[in-house]
Amino acid sequence: MAKTSTIRTLYESLQKRLRPEDVADLILTELGSSKAATSITADEKAQLKKAARYSTRRSIYQMSSMLDEFRKPVIPKRQVNKAVELFTTARKPSDDDLLDPEKLLAFLTGLCNEIKKQADKSDFKADRLNTEQREKCGLDISRRRYNKLFRFLVRFQKKIGTYALELRKYRATMVSKSSLASLITYEDFAASRNAACFIAYFTAKSNKRSVFTNDSQERPFDEIAGMLLNRFKRHPCAAGWRAIAHVMPDYQVVEKLSDADKMDIFSKFLTVMVDMAGLLKMTYETNKFDLKTMIVRRGNDSSTWNAVAGAWNSARHGWVSLLYSLGLQEKFDAICPGKVMRLMAADVVRWHQATGGKIDPNTGVWAELPLPWEVFNGEKACTRQLVETVCEKYDIDAVKTGWIAPRAERKTVAFTPTPELVHGVVVSNPSLAAVLRKAGWFSGKSAKSVTEAVVVERDETGAALKVSVEDEVQMRQ
């Protein structure tokens, strides 16, 4: 029973944003159980303890100021409840149906039928029925009530549209961080204890928040992830490889799959790419970024763009790996959509420049290639040859950088504890982080003063790197 409970908890963590240390603590409990004790070595246990010692259960703070879930779209429950109150034929959808925009639209269609309104006609002046038309349709309600119901349906339809869009953005954020981890079935996840432990830990590492820095972000495949993957490799199974391919679709992983599994996951990545291409187009047309610099300007929706760009790149990585694994490289010769660059904050760009850095040369490649939605819509061609030519122009190795081939095999990095962050700035403890976040520090907006005596550590350019309570600083000295 304990085993099932721990594995189920690890599986549920795929939909959340738990700290890797907390997941490592769960894994230590799972692998350290009596039945598994003989299969975990002292060195493996020591590596897991290196992370688990920082878990909230073992930490002196026993808390984190950061949310342990991704921010989900608000379900239009209030509007549904109001609809049930207003319409005589309305039957409240189930909780599961409330999560599905398509089923909400079907619910809306039923409401429209009650007042003989066409779902695609919502102009208050042009599309309402007059008294004669209402009588002809058998609507025995007053003009005032009819107008009230009509207005409600128009607002409800807009709300469903907003919810559907926010749900797509939410899914984009999930894919951007941890690929298709949220689509893994419990059966595949639980088929191998070792695969489950690796997937849960690697997903937690992938889901970590970005740190405000002018250096590269920490890579998720650290020494603990490498150890957990090697444990699975000693006793592999097909379901385990299939589950791992959802979260780490590297060529070295997907080549272990059957052709049927390859095609199934390939179609999932392709579906994500099609959806993200549409979101990229929508976001670009309402923002008009400078493609040559990708520097954020006031009013730009950089959060949406970066989430969708990350999801596109993540899905593209899996798509390319599977193309090669399936022996379909010739398809890539004709249709080779490029990677998408994220937007950079102007202060980060200046920080790069002040420390001798330059705009990523990959930005130049991105700016010259046809845009992803133009390629998918058939408006423009983007061949492998074109990508190679543009990469050569900017002195970029198109193969090693993943523009025309799967990424190179991952190398493990050292484990580092998850920092407490306030808008990307490292803070010394969760209590201080909660105070600074409430005060609005590092948010880019006007901040309130705080009563605590805090010390901000900055680099030579003045960028805030770390914040501590004054008492803690004196204790360290």
Which residues does 341 contact at the CB level (< 8 Å), separation at least 6?
294, 309, 360, 362, 363, 366
Can you read off the two tokens belonging to residue 388?
A: 């190679």
Nearest CA-CA partner of 223 in 468, 416, 27: 416
DSSP structure string for 278-291: HHHHHHHHTT---T
Q: Which helix (DSSP H) or strand (DSSP E) does residue 348 occupy? A: helix 346-354
Q: What is the pLDDT of residue 2?
A: 40
Q: Give the start-to-end residue ranges of the domains of the chain.
A: 77-173, 249-416, 420-476
Q: What is the pLDDT of residue 475?
A: 41
Q: What is the pLDDT of residue 54?
A: 87
pTM of model > 0.95: no
For residues 70 and 170, is the Cβ–Cβ distance under 8 A?
A: yes
For residues 240 and 195, is the Cβ–Cβ distance under 8 A?
A: yes
Which residues does 342 contact at the CB level (< 8 Å), separation at least 6?
294, 305, 306, 309, 310
Nearest CA-CA partner of 411 in 220, 247, 242: 220
Nearest CA-CA partner of 83 in 110, 101, 119: 110
Q: Which helix (DSSP H) or strand (DSSP E) does residue 189 occupy? A: helix 186-190
Q: What is the largest CA-CA distance in the chain?
A: 86
Which residues does 167 contact at the CB level (< 8 Å), separation at least 6?
73, 101
For residues 452 and 429, is the Cβ–Cβ distance under 8 A?
A: no
Tens of pLDDT, residues 318-370: 999 999 999 998 888 999 999 999 999 888 888 888 877 788 899 999 999 99
Q: What is the pLDDT of residue 60?
A: 65
Helices (H), 36-98: 42-52, 77-86, 95-98
Q: What is the pLDDT of residue 346?
A: 84
Phi, psi for residue 450 in degrees, rounded to 5: -120, 150
Cβ atoms within 10 A of the Cβ of 159, count? 17
Tens of pLDDT, residues 393-407: 999 999 999 999 999
Residue by residue, pLDDT tens for the chain (477 residues) are 344 589 999 999 999 999 999 999 999 999 886 555 457 899 999 999 999 998 888 876 667 878 889 999 999 999 999 999 999 988 999 999 999 999 999 999 999 999 999 988 888 889 899 999 988 988 889 999 999 999 999 999 999 999 999 999 999 999 999 999 999 999 999 999 999 999 999 999 999 998 888 778 889 999 999 999 999 999 999 999 999 999 999 999 999 999 999 999 999 999 999 999 999 999 999 988 899 999 998 889 999 999 999 999 999 999 999 999 999 988 889 999 999 999 998 888 888 888 777 888 999 999 999 999 999 999 999 999 999 999 999 999 999 999 999 999 999 999 999 988 888 888 878 888 888 888 888 877 777 877 667 788 887 777 777 878 765 544 444
Nearest CA-CA partner of 429 in 439, 438, 418, 440: 418
Cβ atoms within 10 A of the Cβ of 38, count? 7
How far CA 226 is from CA of 45, 99, 158, 435, 465, in Å, comes to 14, 36, 47, 37, 29
Cβ atoms within 10 A of the Cβ of 91, count? 9
In angstroms, rounded to a whole number, what is the distance separating the alpha carbons of residues 20 and 116? 54
